[in-house]
Structure formats: C-alpha cells, structure tokens
Structure 1
Amino acid sequence: MGERLRFCVLGPLRAVVGYRAITFGGARQRTILALLLLSRGRVVPVDTLVDAVWNGRPPATARTQVAICIAALRKTFKAEGAGDEVIVTAHPGYLLRTEGTDLDLADFTDLVAQAEEAVRERRLPEAAHAYTRALALWTGPVLAGVTGRRVEDEAARLEEVRLNTYDDATAVQLELGAHQDIVPELAAVVREHPLRERTRRHLMLAQYRSGRRAEAMETFRDAREHLIDELGMEPGPDLQSLHDAILKDDPALAGPAAQTAPAPAASPPAVQVIPYELPPDSPGFTGRSAELAALDSLVNVVADGTSAAVGLITGVAGVGKTGLAVHWAHRVSGLFPDGRLFADLRGYGDAEPTDPSDVLSRFLRSLGVPSEQIPAEVEARTALYRSVLAGRRVLITLDNVRRPSQVLPLLPGGRCCVVITSREQQEELDVWPPQARIRLGALSRAESVDLLSTIVGAPRITVAASDTEALVGLCDRLPLALRIVGARLASRPHWTVRHLVTRLSDEQRRLDELSQGESKVRAGFELSYRCLPADAARLYRRLGLLTVPDFGAWAAAALLDTDVLDAERLIENLVDAHFLEGTGLDATGRLRYRLPDLLRLFAGERAAAEEEPTERQAALDRFFRTCLTIAEAAHRREYGGDFTVLHGSVPRRPPEPELLDELITSPLEWFEAERLSLRAVIDQAAGQGADEVAWDLCMSMVTLFETRNYVEDWRFCGERALAACREAGNLRGQAAMLHDLGAVELRLRRLDTAEAYFDEALALHRRIGEEHGRALTLRNMAIIARMRGDLTLAMDQLDEARHVFRAVRDLSSEAHAMNNMAQIELDRGNTDEAVRLSLEAVQISQSIGVGGERGIAQGTNRLARAYLAQGRLDQAEQAFLKVLHIVKGKSDMVGLAYALLGLGETRMAAGAWQEAAATLDDALDIAARIDSPVVEGQISLALGEVCRRQGRDTEARKHLLAAQERFERVGVRPLQERAARALGAFPT
C-alpha cells in the first residue's frame, strides 16, 4: 500500500493522497467511484455499476467500458502514490478497500455514534462538540455534480440523515442553554425545510427561551400555513402542545442557563503585557464581504472556548491576502483584549524564510516574558508560548507562509485565533471552522471601480466609466495592480484614464507598466514561479503560448506531450499555487481552467526566456493537431462518417482512446464546451500561418455553427482562415472557406452575397479538380436558385451534386440533396414524388447508423411537409413529432423551430386552432433565441392566420406585419408575397 487516501462524498466528490488533491477523468469514472465509496468495503456488482452509469440504457460495450474506467481509476491512484490495490476485483464486481483509505462519511457516522453515546451518558458538552465536528464535514450536497439515479437516491437519503443529526445536535444545544446562539442558524434551516416539524419546534423553543415569544408564535403560524397549503393537514401534536404551553407561559419551558468555561489558569509572566503589533489597515479597503463573513466564523469558535480558531487565506501574489487579514484583524481587534500579534514569515522572497523559533522568541517577549526566561530549544519555547496564551484571547496573524512547518510551533490552544496567509493551499494545516479556509480571488468589477475611486477620486473615475471598466479588465481586477494604476493616476493629474488604458493595452508592455516603483506585479509573480516544481513550471510556461479563454486537461497534455493524468496532476499543482483558476465543469462534465491575463503574459515571458523557439513551436503544433483530431472525430461521430466536410493535410495527433471516447460521447456538447477556445485556436493558427489547421478546423465546426446558429462565430472563423489561405496561396483551403462564408450568407438569406462566394468557390474547386467540394457548393447554389423561383436550375444542380455525393460515398450530403429535391417537387405540386424522394432520403440516412439522426430528422421533416400537402394530417403530425424527438435530443435549436412550425401548421389544417396557437408560440420563442429571420417570419405568418381565425384581428395584424418585416429584411420574394396577401385580407 502507498500513501493514505482520503475520500470526501459529503459535498463534491474529492480525493486527497497525503495532502495532494486528485483529479479524476470524466463523468463515468466519477459515478463508478461514487458507488464504490458509498459501498466502501463491500462488493459492488458490475451490473449495478452499468445500471448507475447508463441509467438502465447501457450500450453493448458497457461492461468493457466499466472495466476501462476501473483501470483508469487504479492508474490515477497509483500515479498519486496510493498504491495499486485501492480498488480490487471481487466477484461479481469490484470493491474499494477500507485499508489505507479514509472516508468523510465514515468519520461522520463515527462522530454521530460518539455524540449519541455521550447523550445517553449525559456528557452533553462532549456530545455537542462531536455533533459540531460531524456536521462540519458537510461541504455541500452529497456527491454534487455526480449524476445517476442510484447516486442521487443515496444522496437524498444521506441528506435526510444530515437533517436528523442536525435536529439531534440542536436538542443538545437547547439542553446546554445555548438557545440564543442557535436561533439564527435554526431560522435559516427552517426556511430551507419548512415542513420539518421537529426543527421548527426547536426554533420555537429557542425563540421563546430567548425572550422572543411573539416570534415563536409567528413561527407556529407560518408552520400551520405551510402544512395546510402543501399537505392539507394541521401541525402535529408536538408543535401544537408547544404552542399551547407558550400561550400559557408554562414554567416547564424554561431552559438551563448557558454553561460557561472554567476560569483560566494564571499565566507565567508576573505582569501581563498586551501587545498590539498589527500593521496599519489598508487605505481604501474595498469589498470582500463574503470573505470577511467567513473570517467572522472564527470569532464563534473562540467564544466557544473549546479550541483555537485557525483561518487560512490563500491566493496569487497581489490578490490582497495580507490586506484582507490585516483589515479583518483591525475590525475584530476589540474582541481580543489580551493582544494582537503579527509576523511576516517571508515564505516567498530572496531572503531566507523566517525561522519559527525566532518568531516564538519575539512573541514571548511581546507577551511579557523576560528574555532571560526564554528557552533556547524550540520545543521548550513552544510549550512556554502555549502556557502564556492559556486562557487568554489573543489574535495572531502569520503572513506570507510557505510551509506548514513554519507555523505549526506558533499555533496556540485555548481561546486564541490565528489567521494565516499563503500563496499555496497548505492542506496539511487543520483549519477550523472549515469555512475559514478562504481561496481569495480577484475583486468584482464593482469593487475594483470602488477601489480606484478611493485612490484617484470619484469624480475622475465617474466621468470615464467605460475607460475605467477597460482599465479594471486590463488589471485582472487584481488589488495590487489596481493600486499601482490608481497611484499612477493620482500622482499624474494630467493623465486621463484612457491614456493609461492605451499604455496597458500593449501586451508587450503591460507588465512593465505594472512593475514600476516599489510595488511590482512581475516581481510578485516571479517569487511564486520560482517555487513551482520544474514540470509544473514547464506546463505554466507553455499555457502562456495559448490565446484560448479556458481549456481542459487534454490541452495541457498536448502541450507537454504526456498523458492526461500527468497533465491533471500538474494542473492541480498550478491551481494550488494560484497560477490557474478552475472555472467549473463544462458541457461534457469535465473540469475547465483559465489563466488570468496578467499571469498569461508572465507565462509567455518565461516561455520566451527559458525555452527554445523550436520547443515552443512544437508544443503549439501538438496542441493545434490535437484540437483538429478531436474536432474531426466529433464531426465524424455526429454525422456517422466524414460527411459534408473536406479535410486538409495536417497530420493528426490523437489523445488516448479512452479519453477521446469520453470527450466526444456527445459530440455537440464537446463542440459547445470548446466553442470559444476553438474560435481562438483558429484565430491564432491563422495568425501564425497555420492555414491548413485553420480552414480544416473551421469546416469541422460547421455542425455546431449550424445547429446552434452561431453565425457570427462561423463568419469570424471563415474569414480568418480564408485570409490565412490566401496569404499562403492555399487554393483548396480558399475554396473550402469561400463555400463556408457563402453558407453563412445563405443562412442569413443574403442571397446575392452568398452567390458571389459560391461562384468563386465553385471556380476554384473546378480549377483544382476537387469534386467533393464542387458538389457541396452546387448543393447550396441550388437552394439560392429555388428561393429565386428557378426550380429547373435548382433541380439540375442538385441532381449533379447528388451523383458526386454517391460516388464519393458522402451519404449525409446525398440524403440532404434529395431532401431539397423533395422540396422542389413540393413547390411544383408533385406531392407523390416529394414523398418518394423524402422516403429515399430517410432510408439513406438510416443506413448510416449511429450519426444518421440529423439526416433522418431532415428527411422526416420534408416527408411530413409532403403528407401535410396531401392532407394526410395524422401521418404528418406523427412525422413532425418524430422530428421533435430527434432534434430535442441533439439540442438542435434550428431544427426544433422548424419542427414546431410544421406541427403548428398541421394542427391549423386540422382546425385545432388553440393547440396550433400554443405550438406556434413555442416555436416563436425558440426562433427568437436563434436569430433566424426566415423561420421567425414563417412562424409569425402562421400565427397571424391562427389569430385571424380566432377573431383576434389586432394580434393577427401584429404577427403578419412582423413576418413581412423579417421577409423584407432577408429579401425572400415568395415569402414577402405570401405576407402581403395575408395582410391584404384585412380591410384598410
């Protein structure tokens, strides 16, 4: 066995080896580990794991995939030094061993058992302490973020256990006479769980004993209203009898007096000295209300008197850790009448860190111990220090701590409070209460502006609101940077805020501008950077090469040319050192991270200084090629093959197969999660001359651009890639991007501009002999011809494209061409032929298998249209409902709007006007969200007819005018004429 593993399930799923946090893979691994933890020490059958992961709908490979996840978990634990026997195979499944592992749920159960035994033996203070420790283990909803019916059921059960334990703990507090202390928290719990009668009874009793009789009565009335409104019953006998007793002021309700701590023992010094060593408070301290409230919880622990309170503030250099600690210390200094000590441990700097023995010596002298009585040995000094502090209320601030060994001898017992600041997580330290472990982030925008106003003066900041917003962003809302720019503005009255924004906008000079005078942002980063392990520092440097807004662990693995588990370990090192920020889970359920701008600029500087140009370029190339590989695989899985797309010549770099499979389990969700980052990659690749990467990646993303209607992203990526291809003389890439830009304009119904792009693309495809690209372009040109009413030309172009698609085995595009041919037959009134073509298109899409759903939806939608034209309304409705089912599963908002439109028109044809109106209203809501004027206009046109039939003429005209405006905006003449005819039916 290796190092000891600690798992946490009473909140988000976490694991720690030694003092290092472990990062897991995707959602499947987390679900499997959660089930093993909930059954720790017992065998969990494979079938149970399969059912939990896939919620009763497993794929054929489910058991194999479970085995792969188990292997990945074992590899993770072994890589982190926990040994390879954490999870063992035991028929008919797997077992998570109890030896060598700890679990917060098991600790909770033990502490509750201790508390219950203490209650039985009437050792109530001990019971209260055990209950407090047990409930403090909960950091949020059980296994937050882990999905699956079995896990969610167990989480619900454990939440009920927590609430019952809370009620038991409250009963003990009431017996101890702590009624006044528990009222605020009890009231909050009752608001969250208004139907728990025992909790509400405790609140009523605590309020009554605190002299708040009227509030106790109001609590009862509120309970009665909730119970009657939601359950149709009166309060139970316990609540009712307490209510009656309060009305009578029953003497039996009087509680015991609050128990107090014994008098403190005398301190060794003959004369008690009260030191006050705090540095001055930060001028203009702004914000941090949540963090100050968390630190305030330390005061409650000190008041309890059972143990010392320890708070920890961590964060990146310049984020304001010391300022927060000192400001809070000044704010509560009156609560520590026996002294306020302060020491800078100098954990980060050129000088040697401060020896804790020296700090002990100074603190002892400050507390009145004569120098000749201070022992030489650190153990003896620590013992004397704790003896001197016994029974005293002293606030101790330990700033700039690097390692736990610096502070462990300085931690007192009794009723003292310690606040520690560090740039690292210091997981070895016992922080109590847990909420006093504060990870300090940047200020909010409003707080940042307030800070600048305090330094510079409100009038100067107020008149330059937009420039101030820009300045705040350029400073990453980092207090140190904001104070630097504020001081520069204050000392230069002739400077405007815009002038400083201009100076900072140059990324090559920004850190220089923020590193002048005694406060230097770059110097603070440098000191922390030196403390990073070599491999973590390498990853940090290379992350500075990217321009993406955020990233997943696979991106870091590509930069380092390593596997994702090693990359995740290094990422967590950087998170712990506050060089990276976690941004939460993305649409695929995986963790994402971001590098704040100033830290990104510093990383880029270190990369330029410490790595060869060839190393930097090789890292970027690996990242670009990995992006392209995953995007290509996601497109292929979404479509069922390399359909509707051309690819370039860039060699691929596939990640590990299991990782790739997890990333693209839902291809559109992966694209959604990476959308902004992939846009940045295309921009960066185009700017660096990687034209093949840029155009290939843009084309692979078209499925996202189309289904989610990200038209502006589509245009931006296409234009950047086209510019790069033109500069490189890349004709194939130019043709592909001209086609894509034409598709953008076609989507917006700017037909003349779209046609110009398609003409140029077609000419280039013919010039280089690219048949597939030529067919894709012809298909889109046919749509323009149909919109202009030239049905013969449109049919000829589609027929030509269809034969090419069949030759190159692009089944998806072939089906799409036939769908458009079916629409032309509908336009001609040949409904039988439209049905035949639609059915053939559906059949082709079905032959694709997995990935053919999009084509099936499109073909079925066209088939439904044909049925509607033939008056086969039942068949039309069933077909539209089938389309709805498919497009909802893919979050295809455009397809959803069209399917709802068709369903609404079918119900109109059946004379079901009310149902049609409701369906079309839903369709209009969807269309408004995707900014598609054509479909929005068609829905408004149909709604106008429905309202007219229902006699709501005012609403009808409003919808028809809206339809006319949208059709005129995009210039679709047949639809404009339909809207004009509908409006003409109304008297002028």
Structure 2
Amino acid sequence: MRGGGQESSNELSGTVHGPVVQAGSVYGGIHIASRPDGAERTPWQLPPLVRVIDRTRELAVLERHRVRAAREDRPVLAALSGLGGVGKTTLALRWLYALRSRFPGGQLHADLGAQSADGPEHPAEVLARFLRALGVPAQQVPSRLAERAALYRSLTAIRRLVVLLDDAATAAQVRPLLPAGGNVTAVTSRRRLPGLTVDGCCPVHLEPLAPEAAVELLADTLSDGRVEEQPEDARALVELCAGLPLAVRVAGARLATRPGRRIGTMVRALGEERRRLEALAIDGDHDVLATLDVSYRALPGPAARLYRLLGLHPGREFDGSAAAALCAPDGAAAAHLDVLHDASLLVEAPGERSRFHDLVRLHAAAKAEEDEPAGERAAAVRRLADHYLASATRAEEILDPQHRTMARDYGPTPVVVAEVGPGPEAALDWLERELPTLMAVLQQASGAGFPTVCWQLADALWPLFLRRKFHAECAAAHRAGLAAARELGDAVAECRMLTSGGVGEMGAGNPGRALEMFERAARLFLSADDPLGHARTLNYRGLALQRLGRPRGAAEFFRRAAAELPVHGDRRAGGLAALNLAALALDEGRAEEALRHAGAARETLDEAGDTYNAARAATCVGRAHLALERLGPAEDALTAAWAALREVSAYEAARALGALAEVSERHGRRDLARDRCRQARDLYASAGRSGSKDAEALRRRLAALEHEESAQ
C-alpha cells in the first residue's frame, strides 16, 4: 500500500508477513485494515440430502423463479410452507444442492427455531454465526444487529452462495438474514409468510403426497421388496398415513426393523384411529404426534380453542359459518381460521372452505378430549348440529316455501345460519355440497343426546332427496330419523319419517317397502284421529300401487286423495293427487282425461305457489297435447316447464326437454330434435336416471334421428 506524496527512491527487499506499508512523504491520515484471518473460508453447512419423491412441480416453480430473478439481476427468495413433516426442508435441500456448481461461494444454514421450546432464534445471533462462517473473527463481529446485517450484506454481495433458513417464525425474523447480490435463499416454515412477498418472495405451499408417490416413498424407506410383494397393504398403509412423508417414513422405518413382518401388521396397528398418532413414532426421535403438538402449542389461545372444537366436527370439510357456530360466543372465527391456515393446520378446499389433513383431524380430536371440558364439548357439538339443522331448514324454505316445514327444536344458544341462497338453485347446491356433513351430523345426533335433530334434519333434506335423487342417502337418513322418532315416542315425527321415507324408497325402486311404510303411517293417523294426515297417505299409497303394477288400485287412491285433501284443508296436496291421476291416465293412453287432470293440477299448484310441481304439471299438459297432436299448445306448455325445471331438477327437466325434442321432430326440425335429445340424455345421466323408462325411450328416438342423419 502507498500513502500520498513523493515516492521514495530507496529500494526494500525481503519477506514480510502481515500488512505492509511503503510510504514516502505522507500527508493526512492513513487507515490500515487487515483482511480477517480465514476470510477465504467457504462454508458448506447444508444438512445431508435425502431422496425427494414426487416434487417435480414444486421444483419447477422454484427454478422458474430463480431464472426469472437472475434475468432481472435481483436476489432469489423462496418460502416453502406446509404442515410439519410434509417435507419442506427435504425439498429445499434438493433444490439448493442442485445449485452448488452455480454458487461456489458456499452454503449457509440456520435453524430459526420457530417451534423450539426455547423460542425462536434472534436474527442477531444467527448473523453472528453466519459472519464467523464467512471468515470474520469472533472479536470483529459487530455488537449491533444493524451493523451485523450491513457487514453480512457486504460479504455476501461479492460471493455466489445459497442460504437455507429453516423453521422461520416470522418475516421480520428472516429479513435481516437475506444475503445481498444474486444469491439464493430458501426459507421453510409451518406458517405462510406473506410479509416476505414485498421482498420478491416466491411462496410454495406443500401438500401431502399423492398415494402413488407415498407408496414410492415407503418402498424407498424399506428397500427390501416388501412393497412390491404386498402392493395392496402398502397402499392401505400410506392411506392411513394420509400421504404425510414423515408418517410414511416412520411407518416404513418401524417395518424396516422387523424384516419378517408383513405390511398388513402395520396397517392393523394404525387402523385404530385413537392410537394411530401414538403408533407413528420411533423412540422419541421422529414422532408425528410430537410434531403436531409443537404446532398446537404455538397457537394463540382462541385459535387453539377453535382447533380443538373443529376436531369435534364430524365431516371432512367446513366453512366459516360452521367455525363460527363452534366457537360461539367468540365472534372472531374468521380471524382464528386464518391463524390455523397460516400455521398449515388447515388445508384450503374449494368454495372458500377448509379441511383437516387426516392425521391433523385425529390430533385436533384428541386435543378436544384432553383440553376441553366435557360440558364444553357437548355444548359445541349441539351448536354445530343446530347450525346445520337451521341452515338446511332455510334451504328447505327457499326450495319449498309451501311445504309443511315442521317446528324445529334448537338448543339454548343463538343459532348461526349459513348463507344458503339466494335462490332455489343455490339452496340445492348448498345442500348437495354439504350432504356428506349433514349425513354425518344426522348419524351423530342420537348418540350425542339430541334425537330431535336426527329426524328433523332428515325432514329438512327432503327437497334435495326429491329433486336430485340421492336415494341411498334418503333411505339412510329416514331410517335413522324413524328410529329417533320412535325413541322419542313422537307419533307425528314418526308419521313424517314414514311418509317421506316411503317416497324415498319408491325412488330407490322399493315400492313394496314404501307401501308398508305408508300403511303404517295411515294406521298411526287413524289412531291419532288425524283425518288430514290419513288423507295424505292416500296419495302415497296410490303411488306405491302404481309402481307395483296395480293401476286400478292406484287410481282409486288418487281419486280419494284429490277429493278428501281439499276438504281437510290441503288444496296443494289435492293438486298433487290430481297430477298423479293425470300421469296415470297418460301412461294408459287416455290423453283427454290426462289433460283435464293435469290442467286442474297446474292451476291449483300455481295458486299454492308450488312452482316446482306446477312445472311438472305443465310437462304433463304438454305431453297430453302432444299425444293429441296439438303441437302448438304442447310446445308452449313444455317450454314453460323446461324453463322452470332446468335449474332445480335434472331429471324433471330431462323429461320436459325430451318431449320438446319430439315436438321439434314432428315439426320437421330434425337438427333441433337431435340437439334436444342429446341434451336430455346428458341430463338423465347427470341425475343418475339413465335406466329409467323415459330415458330409454329417448335413447331410441335419438338413435333413429342419428341413423337418419348418417344416411343423408
């Protein structure tokens, strides 16, 4: 180094160690700093690499982000989030190891300790370790965080290195640890870290493995051929592990210590839900239960309470209103859900809904059992049942405003009602989407001590069963509802379950069973001196006899019902009886009689505000006109029926559209007829009624039209 001023003519020679100054005349101050000992040190701190299974998509996302950032000459930052044990660190290592040749300046790694019992690491302590790893002597590490961060950026700006920050707690903890220049940083956290987005972060959220990939991971862990020899048991095992890599590896490791043990033995060990988490552990080392416990303990109190209570939810998915019902009277359910999502304890489901990973659900249920008093658990289950009952009843009211909605018996706390509207289609869609949960709540209700919810929920689901033909669910719901009504000794409820359930049995193709149920209800109504209830069974018994191939007996019951029901105060039910008479007459070729009965039914049902059944009557009117070759009136009636039915019942809409196709064919509009036939065929299929008599007739008509088209 030379100072300023005139250069000396003296020559010096020899070997010099350490800093050297050669100066002539010197003016002003001279500042001399030596390079720290070991400053050329290259750290290689990343943990060992293990095999990555089926993360091709995520790796591609990370690499695209790196290339794009490199083109823009900016640092590369990616944050991998997900449930504990899902493989975040494994994926980050796989990505960073692949970059070693491009980043020869080294690899830094720090466990930021978000889940540590001692609390998260302070960034200043991590920076001190990083600086020492980069060659700064301990005595030269600055004392202040800001100075450490500045020196860190200076040193990393002239290097090409990668940094892995594991188990981060917050974006604020991470930010001082980001290197300068075009270096690469991968952050892992159980929490999503949206705060890093402003730093140009690429977020990657990891989900559990698909079954095929989980089987591959199990085979990689065992490495002894058992997976190939026992594929069905291997598949069952990874399903019990719900695709969580940690769980699969633990199960595989336990099997690996017993080379003679079959995979099915582990399947049986994990089959008992209450003990599954305990079985997924290896001597306190890798432990799924402990991993979930750590995430749970990190939750704020209100979010932890919601987590426990959601463990009581009997379904696989839920929305914000169900969470609000569970954690009432706390009004901050949405905020608590966000905390659980950020902690990767909940998974997003379609339609702004949430679900648990299967093992997390078991953990939440266990925490409810351990940490929530029995009385609080029972009250929460009742609030949830009331929520679903009230919401289904609201959907029922939207769909059938004229239907006799029976009184509902709710618990003592205010009921949270979901948004199920605004119209019939939305209400039906809500019921169908929630059907698995509604059935689970219904089955749970009696055992939980409120059988009224059981039969009343079956009653509220009636419009869905009627319109979208969920026959198996209808039968199961009404069996449970009937048992609950009998347990309560409630004859009115029992009659409701018998009549509604009987209609469901007819839809499922069991008219004999349906007739038995209707006759049982008729006897109960007679013994209770209820002439209106008895009159309603006449209509139902007629329908059962019609399905049993006894049209004369059916017609007699329909005529009696059409006459008696209005007298006892139910004109709408009388209109339905007239509609049944019309359908029977049309099936037997008496079109004029069918037109008379169907016209009267349509008028009565319109007056009653029953738009759905009025539209069904319009279909019957149109088909009667068609049978009489009155194509204009037939098209008018069927067009009106199609417009009213297409949003609420695929099956009934298909019947109207199939008849419209026949009108088009008779008008000579063959292309329109074919299009309508195809659309009606698809509607029958979507309704699960492709095997019905009407659907078979439609297929024959469509085949003839298509044959005619191909012959042209």
Using structure 2 for the length normalisation, give the TM-score: 0.87
Say what the alpha-carbon RMSD is for the aligned residues.
3.1
The answer to whether the aligner puts 1:758 opposite 2:524 as a matched pair is no
**Residues 1:815 and 1:524: Cα distance change in structure 2 (over 3 Å):** same
Aligned equivalents of 2:578, 2:292: Cα separation in 1: 60
Counterparts of residues 275-314 of structure 1 (less than 5 Å): 275-282=43-50, 284-300=51-67, 303-304=70-71, 306-314=73-81
Q: CA 1:884–1:667 in 2, change beyond 3 Å: closer, same or farther?
A: same
Structure 2 counterpart of 1:795, which letter? A
When structure 1 is superposed on structure 2, of 302-311 and 610-619 the one drifting more is 302-311
Q: Is the 8 A contact 2:395 2:421 kept in 1?
A: no
Alignment match, 2:234: 468
User: Is the Cα–Cα contact under 8 Å of residues 582 and 598 in structure 2 kept in the other structure?
Assistant: yes
Distance, in Å, in 1 between the alignment partners of 2:702 and 2:67 is 65
State how far apart, in whole Å, the 2-side matches of 1:302 and 1:917 are: 55
Contact 1:574–1:580 (8 Å) recurs in 2: yes
In the alignment, which of 386, 393, 398 is matched to residue 625 of structure 1? 386
Matched positions, count: 677
Does 2:109 match 1:342? yes
- In structure 2, do the counterparts of structure 1 residues 817 and 447 end up closer, same or farther at CA, with 3 Å as the change threshold? same
Give distance in 2, aligned partners of 1:310 and 1:268. Answer: 29
Find the aligned partners of 2:534 and 2:413 in 1 and give their Cα distance: 29
Question: Is 2:660 the counterpart of 1:903?
Answer: yes
Which residue is 1:855 aligned to?
A: 613
Distance 2:650 2:704 in 1: 28
Match of 1:391 in 2: 158
- Structure 1 residues 262-310: Cα deviation after superposition (integer angstroms, max 9, x where no partner): xxxx98767411110111112x321111211222245325634733222
For 1:768 and 1:467, how far apart are their aligned partners in 2? 57
Q: Equivalent residue of 1:334, what SS? A: coil
Give yes or no for contact 1:816–1:858 (8 Å, CA) kept in 2.
no
Which residues in structure 2 correspond to 1:469-484 (within 5 Å)?
469-484=235-250
Equivalence for 1:609: 370
Provide the C-alpha distance between the structure 1 equivalents of 2:669 and 2:146, rounded to a whole number of angstroms: 87
2:684 aligns with one of 914, 927, 939: 927
* Letter paired with 1:843: E
Provide the C-alpha distance between the structure 2 equivalents of 1:479 and 1:317, rounded to a whole number of angstroms: 10
* One-letter amino acid of the counterpart of residue 278, structure 1: L
Q: 1:946 to 1:455 in 2, by over 3 A?
A: closer
Give 1:352 deviation, angstroms.
3.4
Distance 1:467 1:358 in 2: 48
| Residues 835 and 298 of structure 1: CA distance in aligned 2, closer, same or farther (over 3 Å) | closer
1:271–1:540 CA distance, 2 compared to 1 (3 A)? closer
State how far apart, in whole Å, the 1-side matches of 2:356 and 2:167 are: 23
- How far the C-alpha of 1:344 sits from its partner, in A, is 0.8
The Cα of 1:943 is off from its aligned counterpart by 4.8
2:339 aligned to which of 563, 573, 576: 573
1:794 maps to what in 2? 554
Deviations 1:102-134 (A, max 9, x none): xxxxxxxxxxxxxxxxxxxxxxxxxxxxxxxxx
- What are the within-5 Å matches in structure 2 for residues 327-338 of structure 1? 327-338=94-105
The 1:375–1:913 alpha-carbon spacing in structure 2 relative to 1, beyond 3 Å, is: closer
Asked if structure 2 preserves the Cα contact closer than 8 Å seen for 1:736 and 1:773, the reply is no
1:681-692 pair list within 5 angstroms = 681-692=441-452
Does the CA contact (< 8 Å) of 1:544 and 1:607 recur in 2? Answer: yes
Could you give the per-residue CA deviations for residues 676-704 of structure 1, whole angstroms, max 9, x where no partner exists? Answer: 22122112224434322122111211211
Question: Which aligned pairs between 1:435-446 and structure 2 lie closer than 5 A?
Answer: 436-446=202-212
Displacement after TM superposition at 1:832 (Å):
4.1
Among 132, 137, 141, the residue aligned to 1:365: 132
1:721-751 Cα shifts (integer Å, max 9, x gaps): 3344455555444443333442233113332
Checking the alignment, whether the CA contact within 8 Å between 1:343 and 1:398 is kept in structure 2 is: yes
- Give the alignment partner of residue 544 of structure 2, picking from 784, 790, 813: 784
Please say if residues 310 and 419 of structure 1, whose CA atoms lie closer than 8 Å, have aligned partners that are also in contact: yes
Aligned to 1:879: 637
The alpha-carbon distance between structure 1 residues 671 and 949, as it changes in their structure 2 partners (threshold 3 A), is closer
The question of whether the paired residues in 2 share the 8 Å contact of 1:917 and 1:943 is answered with no
> 5+ residue gaps in structure 2?
1-33
Deviation at 1:616, TM superposition (A): 0.9
Shift of 1:881: 1.7
How far is 1:360 from its partner? 1.5
> Do the aligned partners of residues 951 and 445 (structure 1) sit closer, same or farther apart at CA in structure 2, a change above 3 Å counting?
closer
Distance 1:811 1:596, change over 3 A: farther
Counterparts of 1:908 and 1:305, CA distance in 2:
64
Q: Indicate conservation of the 8 Å contact 1:732/1:768, yes or no.
A: no
Query: Deviation of residue 672 (structure 1)?
Result: 2.2
**Which residue does 2:646 correspond to in 1?**
888
Asked if 1:704 corresponds to 2:464, the answer is: yes
Residue 767 to residue 442, structure 1, CA distance change in 2 (3 Å):
farther
Q: Which residue of 1 aligns with 2:214?
A: 448
Change (3 A) 1:949 1:489: closer
Q: Do 2:655 and 2:694's aligned partners in 1 also have CA atoms closer than 8 Å?
A: no
Task: Give the Cα separation in 2 of the matches to 1:385 and 1:822.
Answer: 87
- Where 2:646 maps in the other structure, the secondary structure is helix
Does 2:134 match 1:377?
no
Moved more, 403-412 or 731-740: 731-740
1:884–1:900 contact (8 Å) kept in structure 2: yes
1:310 match: secondary structure? strand
* C-alpha spacing 1:915/1:512, structure 2 compared with 1 (3 Å): same
Structure 2: how far apart are the matches of 1:380 and 1:391? 18
Tell me the distance in 2 between the aligned counterparts of 1:924 and 1:861: 17
With 340-349 and 383-392 compared, the bigger mean Cα shift is at: 383-392
Q: Distance in 1 between matches of 2:701 and 2:142?
A: 95
Structure-to-structure mapping, 1:113-152, within 5 angstroms: none
Q: Is the 8 A contact 1:580 1:593 kept in 2?
A: yes
Structure 1 residues 556 and 419 mapped into 2: Cα distance closer, same or farther (>3 Å)? same
Q: Percent identity between the aligned chains?
A: 31
CA contact (8 A) 2:82 2:344 kept: yes
- Per the alignment, residue 278 of structure 2 pairs with 512
Tell me the equivalent position of 1:940: 696
SS in 2 for 1:314: strand
Tell me which residue corresponds to 1:600.
361
SS of 1:894's partner is helix
Q: Which has the larger radius of gyration?
A: 2
Q: 1:619 to 1:827 in 2, by over 3 A?
A: same
1:816-827 matches, within 5 Å, as: 816-826=576-586
